[in-house]
Each structure stands twice: as C-alpha cells, then as structure tokens.
Structure 1
Amino acid sequence: MEQVIQAIEALLGPQGCLIDQDARRPYESGARYGNGSAACIARPANVEEAAELLRLCARDKIRIVAQGANTGLVGAASPDRSGRDVVLSMERIKGIVEIDPVDRVVQAYAGTRLSDLNQALAPHGLCFPIDLGADPSLGGMLAANTGGARLIRYGDVRHNVLGLEALLMNPPGQRLDLTNRLRKNNTGPDWKQWFIGTGGAYGIVTQAVLQVHPLPQQCATALVVPASPEAGLLLLRDAERHFSDFLTAFEGISHNAMQSVLRHLPGMQAPFEPLPPYAFLIELSSARPRSADFDLEKLFGAWLEACFGDLILDAVIDKPEVLWRLRHAISESVRHEGKVIAFDIAVPRSRLAAFREEAVALVGRGYPGVGVFDFGHWGDGGLHFNLVVPQALMEVCSEERIAVLRQEIYDLAVRKYRGSFSAEHGVGPFNQSFYDRYTAPEQQALAAGMQAAFDPERLLGATRFMSAQ
C-alpha cells in the first residue's frame, strides 16, 4: 500500500492525496453510518486524473470507494475498516459545463453541490427541484437516485437525468460518454440507468445532464390536521383532482416528530395547541406569476375551507419557509431524543395509513417505551419510520433485540404490504443484508451478472449486487 499511496501522491499532488489521519477523518465517516479507515483520500482535480487513478488502482487491485458530499445514510460512500480502500472524493471535479434555457437543460460535473447548481440556474428562471434536507453533490444524487419531498410533482433524480458521463473499471479508466440531452432517444438500452441508484458499483459518474424546471413564481403552503387517519388519503386524492400539477408536496408529520422539533429547534413556535396526533404539510406552486385571475393562495384557501369538517379539523396557512423549517428540522431534532432506529420505507400509498397503524401497534406491543417519531412523503408512499430508544432503556434494548425489531418492521413492509426496505437511500453496506433477504434470486442474479461485466475484480464501491464469495 505504501507504494500505491506514493504513486497516487505523485499523480495528484499533496492537495490531491490526503494521508494524515486528521485530514482523512471527515471522509471516513458517513452522515449516520459507515465508519471506516481509508488508505488515503484521493481528490483528483479533473476527470483525466480520476481516470488515471482508476488505472493505477486496478493494476494493484485496490478498491475505490467514490464519494460526493458524504451525505448518504447507508454507508455506500464509506471505506471499510481494512485501511486498504482508496476514497475517491469528487469534491474538486465540480462546476457548470453549460446551461441551455431553451432546452431547459444543465450539464454539470459530479462534484457540484445541489445548492450551487440552483444558484447558477436561478438567473435563468430555472431550478433543479429535488428537495432534500442535505446539500448533496450531483454524483451522489445519481448514485443514490435521491427522491425528496417534491417527488409527487417532479419525480426522483432518475426521472430528471437526460445523460451522464462515467468512468468504467472494464477497461480501467475507460470514459463512457452518454451526455446526450435528448428527451426522446429510442435507439437501444438506456445505458445511463445502470449508473443511477447503484451506489457507484457499476462505474463512477463524472458529469450529469439534467432537465430542469421553471422556477416557481408563487407558492401556497398549509399545515393541516386530518379528521381521521383515513382522511389523509382522501385529502390527497381530492387535492390531486382539484389542483393537478400545482400540487408539489404532501408530507405527513406525526405528533412526536412535531414535538421533538419544538423541543430542540430554538424559536420554533407550536403550529397547534395542543399538537394533533398527525398533520399534513401541503404545498402548491406554479411558475405562473400571481395575478387577479390566478392566485394560488386564494384557490388553496377556498379548497381548505370546503374540506373543513368532513376531512379537516384545523389548518395553519403560513409562509412556506416557516412550515418547511418545521418539516426539515425533524431528522436532526429526533437524534437528540435517544438512539434512533431509522427506517426508509415505501409501500403503495393506498396502504400507507394501514401500514403505519399496524407498525405503530407492533412497536407498542413488543417494545414498550420505544417511541415512534415518523414523518413521510404520503404523496409517493414513502415513510421515514423513525423509532427512538430512550437512554433509560438502552441497557435492556440490546443490539440483538433492535435487529429483531428491524426485521419485523421490514417483513411487515416488504412481505405483507409489498413495499420496499429502501425507498430512497439506496442499498450500501447498511442495507446489504436486507437486499439479500428481500430481493428475488432471479433479480439478484441479473444484477450480479451486470456488476461482474462492469467490474470483474469488484474494485468499485461499497455496494454489492453480487456474491461476496
């Protein structure tokens, strides 16, 4: 490894190869999971250096783990504990290649942050509307196929990628140019899809070509208390019928999640007194400017008023930034409550209320004292079913008992409700055993065959779609 590190340092220079333990540390630990130890952190300044790094590591069969902003939650961008992995940080390969307002397309390098992308798009009246609690890089967003709170309107990352460029490991360093910007291109397999949502296991994305959307000119937001658990889905259906494409978010927030934000976010005021068992954050937006003939706030207010009684018990209409601050603060606030057992689940949205009710009952029946602090994307069937083990229960709630609880929840979601164990976070080492447990053998065999074709020596990434043997 010493010779490999010396070769990497000679290729990338002292700023491109971090060896010191303190300098490596931020890259070795994920946002929530995935603490490891890397041989070094490689930070190429351009795609050519990254390609040469792949060739260098392939010669000595050194595994490369690509990393963007390191905001993932399944350990897919973290090294293992062997001290032999090279972390390939894409943070220096960033910037906008081109913005085309007519095509509504942006081409950018993989290390570009979402916030920087939207800052560059704003003067053109455009945005990339994948709404996340973190500020990821484009490469990481493609690798994880991120979704976010506005998926109901704009889809996930996969639905907004027109093309990409990737580096392959077969042959090492091969540059695959798939950067066309066509919305219609039916000329064979859609090869870019093999690099989206696969955690860097098939290749390393270096550029992305994205379709972007008009920047909203008006927005209306409300936090709504449903008349019953079933009323939430009725509200969703009615909102879609009434507002069609203007409906951009329909987010559910539990009592415990709201209470946690009020406890831990300074200056946050309670939207309701007392807090309800559950509430929905509903957002409408439009790129059409507000006018006397078209005012979303007035249209929204009239609809909410018509729903009172049968579907709605209470509602707060406020500035979007105020209500979204409550929604986006949940994950960080819940971490202060105790040990978090996080689930990123999806079920058919028609069955989301039933699943949630059964899952809450399962926890209460078998694990008294464990709190449910859930919130979710009801518009697309996603649920962040966060459980919290209070400090007082840590001694009796062992890791083995938590593992049993986790499997019970996933069995319920996947086997009974035909859902997913990973709605938007991906596979990665943290979810590997669940991929092995729930993914059909025929599907695993196909994915493993493709991984073997793209990366015969299995030198790319921390996500495994093939046998570990």
Structure 2
Amino acid sequence: MTRFVDLKSALPDMDVLEAPADTARFVAGVRGETGKALAVLRPRTTSQLLTAIQALKILDIFYMPQGANTGLVGASIPDETGTQVVISFDRMKEVFDVDIENRSLRISAGFHLSEVNERLSEHGLHFPIDLGSDPQIGGMIATNTGGGRFLRYGDVRRHVLGLDIVTDVGELAQLGGPVRKANIGTDWKQLAIGSGADFGIITQAVLNLEPITRQQSAALVVPPNDAAIFPLLQALEQMAGPMLSAFEFMSQNAMNAAFDHVPSLRNPFAGGTVPQIALLIELTRPNQPVPWETDLDDVLQQMLMTMWENGDVAIEDALFGRPDDMWALRHALSEGVRTAGKLYAFDLGFRRPDVLAFRQAIQNELPDFAPGVTICDFGHVGDGGLHFNLVGSNETHSDQFEQVLRDWVVEQAVERFGASFSAEHGIGPKNIRYFEKYSPKRPF
C-alpha cells in the first residue's frame, strides 16, 4: 500500500488504477495468462510517460509496457507478485500527422491498427500489415509484426522510418525520421524494432504508408498433396510478380475447427467436404481499374488454368469468390482452434521448403509421442511462417505434459530444421526458456 501511495503522490496528474475491478483487463492475456499489478498507469502524452518512468526509477518499481494486449506469449502481463506496474498505452493518442506528399505518418504508439487505416482511407493510403487481431502501433513495432500479406509488403520493420523512445532512465531518444534515404551512420532504430522494450518504450513513430489496394482477387486452391504446394507458389511468383500478395496455408483440422466453432462462417467447399489442404491465394493492384487492363479475377483464373494445362502445377480444385469471404475463413482459424480443446500454440519460422518437411515429420512422430493430440495448423507458407497448433484434451492436460510437449516441438523445429522458435510473436514468458537455450547458437 505504501508503494502505491508513493507512486500516486509522485504522479498527481496521471490516471492511476489500483482497484482489482479496474485493473482486471490489464492483467489477463489472450491465452489465459493472469497476473497481478501494483497499479496501472495510463499516460496520455510523451511528457507524462517521461515523468512516469522517472518516478518509477526513483521508487525502484518494475514496470511493464502494454499495448492492446493481443500478444500470444504473455509478454505484456505482470507476474503474480503484485509488485509490478503496467503502463497502458490505451490513451497515448496525442499525435496523428499525415504527410500526403511524403506518404508517411507520424503517430503516437497507442493507436490501434484499425483506427490508423480507417483514418488513412480518406487519403487513399494504408499501413499495409494485415492481422487477424487489432494491436496498437507501439506493440506492432516492438514485436516486428508480419501478418498475412508479408509476401507483398514485408514486416513492420520495412515500414518504420523513425522512432521516439523513452529509455529506462527517463530520457527521450529520437531515432530516424521522415527522410527515407539518410545513410549517415548506424540506424539505431533497427535495434529497437522487434526487441520488446529492451532499448526503451516506443512512444511515437514515423511510418511509411502504401496506396490502398484498389483491385483484389482471391481463390481457395486445393492441391492434391503437400508436394504440389511449392511448385504452385514458385509458378505464381514468376507469373504474378508483385501482384501476388498472399499465399496462405490452411489444414483440414484447422478449417474444421473454424467451421465447428464460428457459427457465422460459411463452408465454401463442394458438399461441405473440407479438403486436407487449402491455399488462400490473393492478387492485388493498388491502382484504380483502367479500360485496357484485364480484370484481376480473370488474371488469376487464367494464370491457374495456364499452369495446370501446361503441367507446371497439380491442382484438384479452385474456388473463386469474394476475397472478404475467403479471408473470413483464414481469420477464423485462430478462434476455431482456440475453442477446440486444450491449445498448445507455436509460432515458428522456417526456410520456405522446410515448413512442409517439418509438418510431415511431426505428423509421423506425434501419435507415438503424444497420443490424442491433434495438429490444427495454418500459416504464411509463402514467407516460411507456420502457426503450428496442437489441440489436446482439457481433461488429460497437465502443466508437466505441456512443458514436455512444448520442449519437444521446439527442439524438432530448431535443431532438426534450423527454424526460429518465434516467427513474429516475440519472446515473453512462454518463449524465454527457448531464447536462453537457442539464441546464443543461432546463426542470425
């Protein structure tokens, strides 16, 4: 109680929450993580944040920055001691300055991705990171988020021009800015992107923006087997070039979980029979349609037909329709597998060809290692990312079993296939043991 009184006295102008009913949403994670906070601070401005960090340092109180709290590795949840302070960014929205001519945006860290793109739409621009969740900009930068259109636009790092960071000693560091070409020494902001809060707390950023997609076409393509997937990807990259914006993999088990647990979702497959594998393929153009262009739906259909007729690829079926409907299936997979049973989720990054080799190895060995556990995976095969989800029984779950299972899966991925144990979700409590074990050995 004394520490809270000291903190409140040091921050008289700050919104400070203490009551359990007020702090509840800040101490619970998406995957069931729970903790306890001494207090939750909700600064509105960089100046308030600076004051808060300085006060916390004087009082020797550990703090944890928290964005939208959509992370999946528990990195924004305090521990159970009740001695830590959460610094929430839900009110950090003092700056939103669009530079149309420069195609850039200076923005406070607390804006949600959906808010950003809604505001930018009137200018014909967007921040081109596509996610199933709705994180805040600061959290996206801190974890270097990728997403479903990584194949076309890359990760967040590619679109960060500048950062304002409050260091742990309560000083403001400004790294980079709206000038894209400035080869004047070490680009220090690159160290901060994807590092969590190791180098300080991101309070503002300057982002590169891209023109909104004006033309879009998508298909659900059913290959006959795993071996047909990469020839199809390579052929599309050759024929479609930069128009290819997404190449997403969905397993039968993951799709069935989505159809079973998301009532609003429509099953587009013939007779309702879900295939072993489906690929969501998307082409996009940023320009408005012009008379001399072939309609993008026709382009995608012609490409797939030509590749099939030439024998370049093997395709069992291809379904065309509204892109939003197809992305609805892709985005529903997370909710589906989360409610299908006890979820053991992994976010793995591979060399592109190794994604399917890893899947096959685990499919062969999992029944003996963990009977009753089912693979419900999906991911960004086009960039080597795989959301490798295992679903077991709530009744047979134990913490010891989960740890053994997690250790085994990560060991197979990292030691046998040279994978990253975290493709885009960061470290956090769920990955810290693998960071300590494997990071010194990584060649990257």
Q: For residue 241 of structure 2, what is the aligned residue in structure 1?
A: 244
Q: For residue 7 of structure 2, what is the aligned residue in structure 1?
A: 7
List aligned pairs for 1:32-51, cutoff 5 A. 32-51=31-50
CA distance in structure 2 between the partners assigned to 1:441 and 1:238 by the alignment: 35
Q: For residue 382 of structure 1, what is the aligned residue in structure 2?
A: 385
Deviations 1:316-356 (A, max 9, x none): 11111100000001111112211000010011002211111
Q: 1:73 Cα shift?
A: 1.0
Q: 1:95 Cα shift?
A: 4.7
Q: 1:267 Cα shift?
A: 3.3
Q: For residue 419 of structure 1, what is the aligned residue in structure 2?
A: 419
Q: Please say if 1:59 is aligned against 2:58.
A: yes
Q: Which amino acid aligns with 1:88?
A: I
Q: Please say if 1:187 is aligned against 2:184.
A: yes
Q: For residue 211 of structure 2, what is the aligned residue in structure 1?
A: 214
> 1:385 aligns to what SS in structure 2?
strand
Contact kept in structure 1, 2:4 and 2:39, CA below 8 Å: no
CA distance in structure 2 between the partners assigned to 1:4 and 1:173 by the alignment: 20
> 1:149 aligns to what SS in structure 2?
coil
CA distance in structure 2 between the partners assigned to 1:91 and 1:217 by the alignment: 31
Q: 1:179 Cα shift?
A: 4.6
CA distance in structure 2 between the partners assigned to 1:141 and 1:321 by the alignment: 23
> CA 1:291–1:337 in structure 2 vs 1: closer, same or farther (change >3 Å)?
same
Q: 1:61 Cα shift?
A: 1.2
Q: Which amino acid aligns with 2:435?
A: Y
Deviations 1:252-287 (A, max 9, x none): 000011111111112322222321100100011111
Q: Which amino acid aligns with 1:417?
A: F
CA distance in structure 2 between the partners assigned to 1:181 and 1:5 by the alignment: 42
CA distance in structure 1 between the partners assigned to 2:299 and 2:9 by the alignment: 61
Gaps of 5+ in 2: none
Q: Please say if 1:428 is aligned against 2:431.
A: no
> CA 1:290–1:438 in structure 2 vs 1: closer, same or farther (change >3 Å)?
same
CA distance in structure 1 between the partners assigned to 2:96 and 2:109 by the alignment: 11
Q: For residue 317 of structure 2, what is the aligned residue in structure 1?
A: 314
CA distance in structure 2 between the partners assigned to 1:51 and 1:441 by the alignment: 37
CA distance in structure 2 between the partners assigned to 1:16 and 1:234 by the alignment: 56
> CA 1:79–1:325 in structure 2 vs 1: closer, same or farther (change >3 Å)?
same
Contact kept in structure 1, 2:176 and 2:187, CA below 8 Å: no
Q: For residue 96 of structure 2, what is the aligned residue in structure 1?
A: 97
Contact kept in structure 2, 1:96 and 1:108, CA below 8 Å: yes
> CA 1:443–1:12 in structure 2 vs 1: closer, same or farther (change >3 Å)?
farther
CA distance in structure 1 between the partners assigned to 2:149 and 2:4 by the alignment: 44
Q: For residue 329 of structure 2, what is the aligned residue in structure 1?
A: 326
> 2:96 aligns to what SS in structure 1?
strand
Q: Please say if 1:296 is aligned against 2:299.
A: no
> 2:407 aligns to what SS in structure 1?
helix
TM-score (normalizing by structure 1): 0.90
Q: 1:442 Cα shift?
A: 9.1
Q: Please say if 1:355 is aligned against 2:358.
A: yes
Q: For residue 453 of structure 1, what is the aligned residue in structure 2?
A: none
> 1:173 aligns to what SS in structure 2?
coil
> 2:170 aligns to what SS in structure 1?
strand
CA distance in structure 2 between the partners assigned to 1:137 and 1:64 by the alignment: 18
Contact kept in structure 2, 1:36 and 1:80, CA below 8 Å: yes
Q: Which amino acid aligns with 2:197?
A: G
Q: For residue 145 of structure 1, what is the aligned residue in structure 2?
A: 144
Which of 353, 358, 376 is 1:373 aligned to?
376
CA distance in structure 2 between the partners assigned to 1:102 and 1:230 by the alignment: 46
Q: 1:119 Cα shift?
A: 1.1
Q: For residue 226 of structure 1, what is the aligned residue in structure 2?
A: 223
Q: Please say if 1:398 is aligned against 2:395.
A: no
> CA 1:3–1:405 in structure 2 vs 1: closer, same or farther (change >3 Å)?
closer
CA distance in structure 1 between the partners assigned to 2:186 and 2:24 by the alignment: 40
CA distance in structure 1 between the partners assigned to 2:442 and 2:243 by the alignment: 40
> 1:306 aligns to what SS in structure 2?
helix
Q: For residue 438 of structure 2, what is the aligned residue in structure 1?
A: 438
Q: Please say if 1:77 is aligned against 2:76.
A: yes
Deviations 1:165-218 (A, max 9, x none): 00012xx21011125112222222111122211111220000011101000111
CA distance in structure 1 between the partners assigned to 2:12 and 2:176 by the alignment: 26
Q: Which amino acid aligns with 1:259?
A: N
> 2:226 aligns to what SS in structure 1?
coil
Q: For residue 462 of structure 1, what is the aligned residue in structure 2?
A: none
Q: For residue 408 of structure 2, what is the aligned residue in structure 1?
A: 408
> CA 1:213–1:52 in structure 2 vs 1: closer, same or farther (change >3 Å)?
same
Gaps of 5+ in 1: 445-469
Q: 1:33 Cα shift?
A: 5.0
Q: 1:60 Cα shift?
A: 1.8
Q: 1:227 Cα shift?
A: 2.4
CA distance in structure 2 between the partners assigned to 1:350 and 1:358 by the alignment: 13
Q: CA RMSD in A?
A: 1.7
Q: For residue 130 of structure 2, what is the aligned residue in structure 1?
A: 131
Q: Which amino acid aligns with 2:408?
A: E
CA distance in structure 2 between the partners assigned to 1:194 and 1:432 by the alignment: 19
Q: Which amino acid aligns with 2:275?
A: P
CA distance in structure 2 between the partners assigned to 1:421 and 1:150 by the alignment: 21
CA distance in structure 2 between the partners assigned to 1:442 and 1:236 by the alignment: 28
CA distance in structure 2 between the partners assigned to 1:34 and 1:366 by the alignment: 26
Q: Which amino acid aligns with 2:177?
A: N
TM-score (normalizing by structure 2): 0.95
